[in-house]
Amino acid sequence: SADVVPQAPEDPLFGLMAAFKKDSDAKKVDLGIGAYRDDNAKPWVLPVVKQAEELLRKDPDLNHEYLPIAGLADFTSASQKLILGKSSPAITDKRVVSLQSVSGTGALHLGALFLTRFYNPAAADAKTIYVSTPTWANHNQLFSNVKLPMKGYPYFSKETKGLDFDGMVSTIESAPEGSIILLHACAHNPTGVDPTQEQWTKVAQVMKAKRHFPFFDCAYQGFASGSLEQDAWAINHFVEQGFELMIAQSYAKNFGLYGERAGCFHFVAAPSSDAVDEVSRVGSQLAILQRSEISNPPAYGARVASRVLNDEKLFAQWEEDLRTMSGRIIEMRKQLRSKLEAKKTPGTWNHITDQIGMFSFTGLNEQQVQTLREEYHVYMTKNGRISMAGLNSHNIDYFAESVDKVVRG
């Protein structure tokens, strides 16, 4: 009966957002959720999204019919090209099957569900997904929901506030052959720390030797380096190396379509004479899973993104908008670091500019985070992650001063 249902804790991130909203102090600063804000701390509708919406509004043929189970075909095929590159052999060989998903979370879920049903590595204990420590908090509950066993691989070094590359590689190397390895394609959440291309190459070598299965989570393409191709480099390196792999692709951040839940799931088969048949079989099973879970995906966000992805002029405008977002974030990183260094705030602050993407893992501890919230009205997750986009020319001095005071104790 209902009275045995225990009360669950509030989601930490959405709880933080609610607490921020309630705070009536004028100085309050929201560095919680990873959503882009403009210099006035306001959500930003990308100019290119406004243009695409205008075109949609004028389209006399638009209706509210169901999309196919696999989603809007123009959207999924453009999504393949975006992430794998227009001339990817995987696409021309027809080794890719893609389904529109409920943003990145939905793609991760669909992939995870598929793995629980159909992934059969030789060693039973290889049917485990390895996630970085730390990782996006939702990964943990998402994989445990579908009962996919989970383990961690070291990722973040507290000493350098950079990558624990040796720890990462040695754990991946010693995982049972055929293990599933979840990799953040770029702009790692929560740390903002990415492997270099040389390090990715080594990770791929180790994974190939161990016949591991890569599952890429790509939520920030265009947000890390400002270049769409460069941010998909790791994925494409793995594809070139002949891996069979999966990709969860989100358009929440790079299109600012957070609430529209636009995303795509891709399965790429390894090159083989059976690959076309394999993706057909995989796709047929994914369609059954999708139908039972969501019937068919939501249309609006995919239509907006599709307009842009399939139009050269709009695409160029989108790249411009991406540079506006990543440029402002990079500027905030520079300013924050230099303000803390100018104040001689104890510790080193180079990691603020070394890290990339939406987040910085500041190194502030839980106690300091709590003090910042309670005494300074500055909100961030308790692991010390800040969303860089929450900083702007109006609040950065106040934030740097608050951090300085809290670190000095």
Q: Which sequence positions are flagged as catalytic?
A: 136, 217, 253
360 binds ligand LMR (CB under 6 A): no
Nearest to ligand LMR of 44, 136 (CB atom): 136
CB 155 within 8 A of CB 326: no
CB 27 within 8 A of CB 8: no
138 binds ligand LMR (CB under 6 A): yes
Nearest to ligand LMR of 33, 163 (CB atom): 33
Nearest to ligand LMR of 112, 407 (CB atom): 112
361 binds ligand LMR (CB under 6 A): no
Nearest to ligand LMR of 42, 57 (CB atom): 42
Distance between CA atoms of 290 and 98, rounded to whole angstroms?
Answer: 12
Nearest to ligand LMR of 133, 241 (CB atom): 133
Nearest to ligand LMR of 136, 265 (CB atom): 136
Distance between CA atoms of 316 and 334, rounded to whole angstroms?
Answer: 27
Residue in 36, 75, 114, 136 binding ligand LMR, rule: CB under 6 A: 136
Q: To the nearest whole angstrom, how small is the minimum distance from the Cβ of residue 13 to ligand LMR?
A: 5
> What residue spans of 28-184 are helical by DSSP H?
47-58, 73-84, 89-92, 103-118, 137-145, 165-174
What letter represents residue 183's amino acid?
Answer: L
CB 203 within 8 A of CB 165: no
Helical pair 233-240 and 73-84, crossing angle rounded to 10 deg: 90
CB 290 within 8 A of CB 110: yes
13 binds ligand LMR (CB under 6 A): yes
Sequence-ordered list of residues with C-beta below 8 angstroms from that of 276, at least 6 positions apart, any chain: 93, 94, 95
Nearest to ligand LMR of 217, 321 (CB atom): 217
Q: In which region does residue 160 sit, left (phi positive, over 0), alpha (psi from -120 to 50) or beta (all else)?
A: alpha
- Segment 163 to 192, residues that bind ligand LMR, using CB under 6 A: 189
Q: To the nearest whole angstrom, how small is the minimum distance from the Cβ of residue 29 to ligand LMR?
A: 15
Distance between CA atoms of 103 and 301, rounded to whole angstroms?
Answer: 9
CB 386 within 8 A of CB 368: no
CB 42 within 8 A of CB 269: no
The three-class DSSP label of residue 98 is strand
Q: What is the size of the binding site for ligand LMR (CB under 6 A)?
A: 6
Q: To the nearest whole angstrom, how small is the minimum distance from the Cβ of residue 35 to ligand LMR?
A: 7
Helical pair 312-342 and 47-58, crossing angle rounded to 10 deg: 150
What letter represents residue 359's amino acid?
Answer: F
Sequence-ordered list of residues with C-beta below 8 angstroms from that of 27, at least 6 positions apart, any chain: 376, 377, 395, 398
33 binds ligand LMR (CB under 6 A): yes
For the chain, the residue count is 409
Q: Closest by alpha carbon to 261, among 269, 271, 251, 270?
A: 251
Nearest to ligand LMR of 261, 377 (CB atom): 261
34 binds ligand LMR (CB under 6 A): yes
Nearest residue to ligand LMR, by Cβ distance, number only: 34
By CB under 6 A, name the binding residues for ligand LMR: 13, 33-34, 136, 138, 189
